[in-house]
Amino acid sequence: MKLGPSLGLDRALRRVLPRSLLGRSLLIVLVPLLLVEAVALQIFYGSHLDVLSRRLAGGVSGEVSFMLDQIDRHPAERREVLGEAWQRFEFRTRIIPGAKVPALTKPMALGPVDQDLEHSLAAHLRHPFAINWFASLNYISIDIAQDDGVLQIDVPRKRLYVGQLYIFFAWLGGSSLVLFGIAALFLRNQVRGIRRLAAAAEDFGMGRESGLIKPEGAVEVRRAAAAFNRMQDRIGRFLTQRTAMLAGVSHDLRTPLTRLRLALAMLPEDAAADVAGMTGDIEEMEKLVDLYLAFARGEGTEQPQLADLSALLGELTAKARHGDVDIECHAPEALSLSLRPDAMRRAIRNLIDNACRFATIIRLTAGMDGERSVRITIDDNGPGIPANRREAVFRPFETGTKGGTGLGLAITRDIISAHGGDIYLADSPLGGLRVSIILPA
């Protein structure tokens, strides 16, 4: 499938552009800064440097032309003219008898002034000439044809050197770095509040105690932090009220069941058979009440703590092992992460109990899944669950087995979600069902 030009460009930009807010903010500052520098350099090269290089080249070529004019007018005084050239222009001169002007290549050695000097000399001189830009470290050599040989003139490089060029570059680059550094500090302080808000929201979403956020930074960030604090407070009060209400409901439901149990205990012994059946019904009702209340209440009262997940899985595996079930656990010796041990124990026990009801072979594995997550896998050789029903079984009161309440997997998913993780169902290599749990490390 071919991608459109706009879609391909969008994907390319996503791979190149920074992902963090700080990186993108710094890029927004850096790009205009580089554009301003590019414009400044263009203006400098296009106007100031160009004019300055032409003037320097014109000055040197004018002095060389003046010296040659004096030699042409007063050939007998050539030695005196060459001596004056050293005193006035710092030109080192020598006559090479019988020599000819060499054909030299003229690479760009000093910049635009190279071509400017060549063009200016061609305009001023009537004699053939050649320029050797690498005659020595501090001089360039100009060979000019004469009747008796070649006049070689060594011109100091500093006469053609734009001294302010590197100073300008250093000032432009240094000032840009300073300004960019100041902008980076300010942006980092602005982004800090957003980072804290994101970390608090992530902790709160995983059920961890994040506490109130101190509003700081821009007005919008302060408003978001204040709104998050109010949301935490409202949700906390709601959970507290709901827990108190459910405690009262639990008491109200248990009271009539307790009266029924006492009434059955007072019946005559000749009704023992009927009493046993009704007592079993009452116990089943109490279990259902406990299960419904646990689902509605959740596990909000338990605080997260650093726990050894490998030890927890080993404990559950040992308790579930009996003669009819072959169950094994494979996990690293120490796999510690922040979780609610009792809640996680209950969630995984629900999954193991479900597997034990339908399978004879169960395998638990655990380990790191990348750098920031842990994967727990439970495989069995049972009948499995059809693909079109794997999402439905997580709904409350949805059950596909006779006698089930339909709350076990719903409670398990709630517990996993409260830890910031997720749970998936798939086909197992053992032929049954695979349950995969992903938890943040």
Give me the mean pLDDT over the 127-131 stretch.
87
Look over the chain and give the mean of its residue pLDDT values, rounded to a whole number: 81
Lowest mean pLDDT among 33-37, 89-93, 270-274, 345-349: 270-274
Lowest mean pLDDT among 37-46, 54-63, 143-152: 37-46
Angle at 211 between CA 207 and CA 213, to 5 degrees: 120
Which H or E element spans position 382? Answer: none
Sequence length of the chain is 441
Give me the mean pLDDT over the 72-99 stretch.
85
**Burial, 329: exposed, middle or buried (Cβ in 10 Å; 0-12, 13-18, 19+)?**
buried
Residue 439 to residue 441: CA distance in whole angstroms:
6
- Would you say residue 365 has pLDDT above 90? yes
Instruction: Look at residue 216 in the predicted model and tell me its pLDDT.
Output: 82
Q: Sign of the CA dihedral 236, 240, 241, 245? A: positive
Q: Between residues 287 and 229, which one has the greater pLDDT?
A: 229
- Would you say residue 1 has pLDDT above 50? no
Instruction: Look at residue 137 in the predicted model and tell me its pLDDT.
Output: 83
**Burial, 22: exposed, middle or buried (Cβ in 10 Å; 0-12, 13-18, 19+)?**
middle
Q: Between residues 385 and 43, which one has the greater pLDDT?
A: 385
Nearest to 44 by CA among 131, 111, 135, 98: 111
Residue 329 to residue 56: CA distance in whole angstroms:
85
Cα radius of gyration (the chain): 44
| E-only strand ranges, 225-369 | 305-308, 326-330, 336-339, 361-368
Lowest mean pLDDT among 62-66, 135-139, 150-154: 135-139
The tokens describing 108, both together, are 């760009």
pLDDT in tens, 279-295: 777 777 777 777 666 65
Instruction: Look at residue 339 in the predicted model and tell me its pLDDT.
Output: 86
Lowest mean pLDDT among 122-136, 195-209, 346-360: 195-209
Instruction: Assign 3-state DSSP to the chain and report helix, strand, coil percentages, each to 5.
Output: 60, 15, 25
- Would you say residue 344 has pLDDT above 50? yes
Position 336 confidence tier, pLDDT thresholds 50, 70, 90 = confident
pTM for this predicted structure: 0.53
The percentage of residues in the chain with a pLDDT greater than 90, rounded to a whole number, is: 11
Write down all domains in the chain, each with its CATH number in brackets. 47-164 (3.30.450.300), 219-297 (1.10.287.130), 305-440 (3.30.565.10)
Q: Sign of the CA dihedral 305, 309, 315, 317? A: positive
Lowest mean pLDDT among 156-165, 203-212, 234-243, 293-302: 293-302
Residue 430 to residue 362: CA distance in whole angstroms:
9
- Would you say residue 308 has pLDDT above 60? yes
Instruction: Look at residue 164 in the predicted model and tell me its pLDDT.
Output: 60
- Would you say residue 412 has pLDDT above 50? yes
Q: Which amino acid is at 269?
A: E
Residue 328 to residue 318: CA distance in whole angstroms:
9
Nearest to 92 by CA among 163, 145, 140, 161: 140
Lowest mean pLDDT among 28-32, 281-285, 333-337, 377-381: 281-285
The tokens describing 416, both together, are 């996993």
Instruction: Look at residue 427 in the predicted model and tell me its pLDDT.
Output: 93
Give me the mean pLDDT over the 173-179 stretch.
86
Residue 185 to residue 187: CA distance in whole angstroms:
5
Instruction: Look at residue 411 in the predicted model and tell me its pLDDT.
Output: 83
Q: Between residues 290 and 375, which one has the greater pLDDT?
A: 375
Which H or E element spans position 130? Answer: strand 129-132
**How many alpha carbons lie under 13 Å from residue 143 in its C-beta half-sphere?**
18
Using DSSP, state whether 358 is helix, strand or coil.
helix
The tokens describing 266, both together, are 């007072």
Residue 312 to residue 319: CA distance in whole angstroms:
11
Lowest mean pLDDT among 4-8, 19-23, 182-186, 320-324: 4-8
Q: Which residue has the tokens 């997260």?
A: 304
